Amino acid sequence: MALTKEFMGSSLVERPIFPSSSPCFQQKNGSFLISPVFVPYGNKRVVRLRKSAKFPVAAISEDLMKSSSSSSSISSSSSSVPAEKPVKFKVRAVVTVRNKIKEDFKETFVKHLDAFTDRIGRNVVLELFSTEIDPKTNAAKKTNEAVLKDWSKKTNIKAERVNYTAEFTVDSNFGEPGAITVINNHQQEFYLENITIEGFATGAFHFPCNSWVQARKDLPGKRIFFSNKPYLPDDTPAGIKLLREKDLKNLRGDGKGVRKLSDRIYDYDTYNDLGNPDRGIDLARPTLGGSEMYPYPRRCRTGREPSDTDITCESRVEKPLPMYIPRDERFEESKMNTFSVKRLKGVLHNLLPGLKSSLSAQNKDFNEFSDVDGLYSVGLLIKLGLQDDILKKLPLPHIVSKIQESTSQGILKYDIPKIISKDKFAWLRDDEFARQAIAGVNPVTIERLTVFPPVSKLDPEIYGPQESALKKEHILNQLNGMTVQEAIDQNKLFIIDYHDIYLPFLERINALDGRKSYATRTIYYLTPLGTLKPVAIELSLPPSGPNTRSKRVVTPALDATTNWMWMLAKAHVCSNDAGVHQLAHHWLRTHACMEPFILSAHRQLSAMHPIFKLLDPHMRYTLEINALARQSLINADGVIESCFTPGRYAMEISSAAYKTNWRFDQDSLPQDLIRR
């Protein structure tokens, strides 16, 4: 009765026309039983429900009875009405493809070849999948294949993005679109940015793709893309569950064979490609990872053949040849252009002192401080009058001219640091030295001093006494009348301690030509002004005998002689700091430790997973940067070994830092600040 009033209104409620003795009206056990009968009502049949005089009777049209038969138990006769046949209709896919900014001759030729073959049936083919299962086939509901239209007509469009369309025929029982497969029957890959499905009554459905779709000849099978609706694994609709599993299986690969540049496989391997033993024993390096001696995070597997002279070492790929990473991890063109400019400037800046040395009569990198200053003012080659000659001889790409046009400093001058632009001699003073400890490139080493003197954790049988050479008398006169314990209790003393990370390697480092180093400890005092000042520096060497002096303490200068001693001690601290910053904090923690997480995320988390959607923007480009680093930065005789004090032992120091200092649960904020 309530259903009748809702659809028809109370105005259609009629008085009873059947007596209580009517066969459609019966009373049993104090309850009324009502049976429907059909009576003429114009050109339609009307069902009249008869009740006692105090209950009104409603007239219900047959159409309404059909619409509500599934929820009504009034009569079994309504269940015999046949179900409506699904209605077929068309929906449209709008496919956005991003063009390359610049194409070489080969790419342009293949692009026009694809336009021609597209006309004769070698197309880009799409297929739409529902989130629901078809009860007849027990598989996901899907459409017939549809072809992208007008590919050949839009070949010459120079816009950054080009939209293509395709049409699918679906029926009213199709359900919600959940996935699209794409087959590229062309000869060349293309970058698929997104797909939008229009035409459903519930609105448009969006499929973010942001992926290179390889030609079928390079990557057989269909590419799978999911809608932007996130699902946890257990909540994945039945219609796309198998597609989710298949996509992850494709990303994991089988761990075999050499990876092609067009592959999209995320797999693990050790750092066994840093050395190049085929070029000489001096370029052999140990494998990092997979052993207790040299533990290290995993990198992306390339599957290259082993070197000729060492089967445990993977063969090298040198520039300009690219190193494998999954195709979608490579730089976009705009990112690559920016990266290339900065990399070229960095390479030139590394070359300039060497070039100057080879051209200088004294055969030295820097003869005086004015030479260092020249890096930031006129430029070394300009100062020597050799700018044009050197640039003509160097095999530099055409991008050099663009750098010179885009920056007032040019490629032959270093950018002036802000602190130096305001005060040329700021770097000499103690207050700037201390400020760099918390506001410089490496503010994540300094920590509160809790024990004085500091104690080493190294094995005393190998590396000598664990006690520091620092004594209270070294710093007491710098504490404004406080005792050392009072300063510790009031959080006034801080330390940067590079003793344990450098000492095990110093004997080998100092045996290298042109390399001399100490393991340093620096004590800082927090002044009443709220600024830090260095109060003592400890310089340590490995003990060479039972009576040798392996540790010494240097304090702020009192005269000209001790001033230079103090300056040299600070220089050794800066040298230690640069190495630890690059090898432990920057490369290791920011890049190397993140790579296995990125690989694992792609292997275990579907693109539909909500956590993956959050992580994806932050993981982008890291694998490409890491691969470039293995190629020219951290490799044997690379930039790190050439420019940093540890030399060929740099990556072994990085491995030691990973073994002793890296903890996932302590390296994030706020845990890191609390720990320090």
**Has residue 560 got a pLDDT over 60?**
yes
Domain boundary residue, one of 415, 434, 463: 415
**Has residue 111 got a pLDDT over 80?**
yes
Answer yes or no: is 526 within a domain: yes
Residues 281 and 375 placed together within one structural domain of the fold: no
Domain boundary residue, one of 384, 415, 446: 415
Answer yes or no: is 61 within a domain: no
List pLDDT tens digits, range 81-96.
556 788 999 999 999 9
- Enter the tokens of residue 44: 């339609």
- According to DSSP, the β-strands at 161-171 and 205-213 are unpaired
**How far is residue 608's CA from residue 616's CA, in Å, rounded to a whole number?**
11
- Enter the tokens of residue 447: 């920590």
**How far is residue 141's CA from residue 176's CA, in Å, rounded to a whole number?**
10
The number of distinct structural domains making up the chain is 4
Domain boundary residue, one of 232, 258, 288: 232
Closest CA to 173 of 229, 132, 126, 138: 132
Residues 355 and 458 placed together within one structural domain of the fold: no
**Each residue of 626-665: b (16+ CB within 10 Å) or e?**
bbbbbbebbbbbbbbbeebbbbbbbbbbbbbbbeebbeee
H-only helix segments in 496-594: 499-509, 560-580
Residue 281 DSSP label: G
**Has residue 672 got a pLDDT over 60?**
yes
CATH of the domain at 485: 3.10.450.60
Radius of gyration of the chain (CA): 38
Answer yes or no: is 281 within a domain: yes
pLDDT band at 409 (very low <50, low <70, confident <90, very high): very low
Answer yes or no: is 439 within a domain: yes
Residue 582 DSSP label: I
Helix, strand, coil shares of the chain as percentages rounded to 5?
35, 20, 45
**Has residue 533 got a pLDDT over 70?**
yes
List pLDDT tens digits, range 115-157.
999 998 899 999 999 999 999 999 999 999 999 999 999 988 9
List pLDDT tens digits, range 336-392.
666 555 555 555 555 545 544 444 444 455 667 777 776 666 554 444 444 444 444
**Has residue 185 got a pLDDT over 90?**
yes
List pLDDT tens digits, range 578-629.
999 999 999 999 999 999 999 999 999 999 999 999 999 999 999 999 999 9
Answer yes or no: is 32 within a domain: no
**How far is residue 144's CA from residue 485's CA, in Å, rounded to a whole number?**
80
**Has residue 273 got a pLDDT over 70?**
yes
**Has residue 327 got a pLDDT over 70?**
yes
How confident is the model at residue 502, as a pLDDT? 97
Q: CA distances (Å), 223 to each of 65, 125, 185, in order?
A: 48, 10, 12
How confident is the model at residue 350, as a pLDDT? 54
Residues 274 and 376 placed together within one structural domain of the fold: no
Residues 127 and 224 placed together within one structural domain of the fold: yes
Residue 314's SS3 state is strand
Residues 189 and 123 placed together within one structural domain of the fold: yes
| Strand-pair partners of 226 | 179
How confident is the model at residue 425, as a pLDDT? 85
Quick one: what percent of the chain has pLDDT higher than 70? 76
Report the pLDDT averaged over residues 526-532: 96
List pLDDT tens digits, range 30-80.
444 434 433 343 444 444 444 444 333 333 334 433 444 444 443 444 445
- According to DSSP, the β-strands at 532-540 and 551-554 are antiparallel
Answer yes or no: is 93 within a domain: yes
pLDDT band at 424 (very low <50, low <70, confident <90, very high): confident
State which residues form the domain around 432: 426-564
How confident is the model at residue 375, as a pLDDT? 66
Residues 96 and 228 placed together within one structural domain of the fold: yes
Out of 206-215, 482-491, 638-647, least confident range = 638-647
Residues 469 and 343 placed together within one structural domain of the fold: no
SS3 annotation, 76-92: HHHHHCCCCCCCEEEEE
Give me the count of residues in the chain: 676
Residues 159 and 222 placed together within one structural domain of the fold: yes
pLDDT band at 190 (very low <50, low <70, confident <90, very high): very high
Residues 92 and 202 placed together within one structural domain of the fold: yes
Residues 187 and 224 placed together within one structural domain of the fold: yes
Averaged confidence pLDDT in the chain? 83
Whose tokens are 């001699």? That residue is 425
How confident is the model at residue 84, as a pLDDT? 74
Residues 602 and 632 placed together within one structural domain of the fold: yes
pLDDT band at 8 (very low <50, low <70, confident <90, very high): very low
Quick one: what percent of the chain has pLDDT higher than 90? 64
Residue 540's SS3 state is strand
How confident is the model at residue 102, as a pLDDT? 83
CB atoms within 10 A of CB 264: 20
How confident is the model at residue 129, as a pLDDT? 97
CA angle 92, 93, 97 (to 5 degrees): 150
DSSP calls for 506-545: HHHHTTSTT----EEEEEEEE-TTS-EEEEEEEEE----S
How confident is the model at residue 594, as a pLDDT? 96
Q: CA distances (Å), 327 to each of 219, 314, 330, 332, in order?
A: 12, 21, 6, 11
Q: CA distances (Å), 382 to each of 220, 413, 531, in order?
A: 56, 9, 40
Residues 216 and 160 placed together within one structural domain of the fold: yes
CATH of the domain at 151: 2.60.60.20
Answer yes or no: is 68 within a domain: no
Answer yes or no: is 10 within a domain: no
Helices vs strands, H then E, count in the chain: 22, 22
Residue 533 DSSP label: E
What pTM, to 2 d.p., does this model score? 0.79
pLDDT band at 413 (very low <50, low <70, confident <90, very high): low
How confident is the model at residue 9, as a pLDDT? 42
Residue 675's SS3 state is helix
How confident is the model at residue 20, as a pLDDT? 42
Find the helix packing angle between 610-619 and 595-604, rounded to 10°. 140
CA dihedral 457, 463, 467, 472 (to 10 degrees): -120
